[in-house]
Amino acid sequence: MAVRIEEEVAPAAHGATAVLEVAERLYAMKPEWVVFFREVLGVDGLVRRAFRTPEALIRFECSPEYARIREMLDTLRTQQRDQPAERETQRVVTVRMPKSLHESLKAEAEEMRVSVNTLCITKLIKMLDEAGRRDMTPDTPATPAKRTA
């Protein structure tokens, strides 16, 4: 299903309510979760077009409208977990980790009856949504500060 949200939502004029309304219209079309994520929460998605500054984005992420959008995303992911899907272009990331961490992830994935890949994607999406993300504003240095003697 190819879906593209073309509406621009101006935060001053419409705000969180308008963003939620557009997201609900897309959700009603029952898109793949990846499409919903890309069009609503992705880098070029509706939310980032409406809330352009880190401060505005953080305020929106604390709103009930954002919580509802996350619920819609989680519902789509749950409903589509075992369904083959029309695929968005995939990217591969190689992550080096200690064997003990890999074994823990593998055990957790087995308990949840999902693949390690699905578990890791779920954890990454959750991390993007939690308070830790709010600490990653553009003002945060990318490298640790150098010590001075």
Residues 54 and 121 in one domain: no
- 12 and 77 fall within a common domain: yes
Q: What is the pLDDT of residues 57-97, one digit of tens each?
A: 888 989 999 999 999 998 998 887 766 556 667 778 888 88
pLDDT confidence bin for 17, thresholds 50/70/90: very high
CA angle 72, 78, 80 (to 5 degrees): 100
Same domain (yes/no): 33, 68: yes
Looking at the whole model, is its pTM more than 0.85?
no
The per-residue pLDDT for 49 is 92
Q: Does 88 map to a domain? A: no
In a domain, 87, yes or no: no
140 domain-assigned: no
- For the chain, the C-alpha Rg in angstroms (whole number) is 18
**Domain shared by 1 and 69, yes or no:** yes
Same domain for 70 and 126? no
**Which residues constitute the domain of residue 123?**
97-135
Of 3-17, 26-40, 42-56, give the lowest mean pLDDT range.
Answer: 3-17
**Residue 82 zone, left/alpha/beta (φ > 0; ψ -120 to 50; rest):** alpha
Q: What's the confidence (pLDDT) of residue 134?
A: 58
Give 123-143 pLDDT, tens digit per residue.
887 777 765 445 555 554 555
- Higher-pLDDT residue of 24 and 54 is 24
Instruction: State how many domains the chain has.
Output: 2
Please state the length of the chain.
Answer: 149
76 and 24 in a common domain: yes
Q: Judge if 60 and 123 occupy the same domain.
A: no
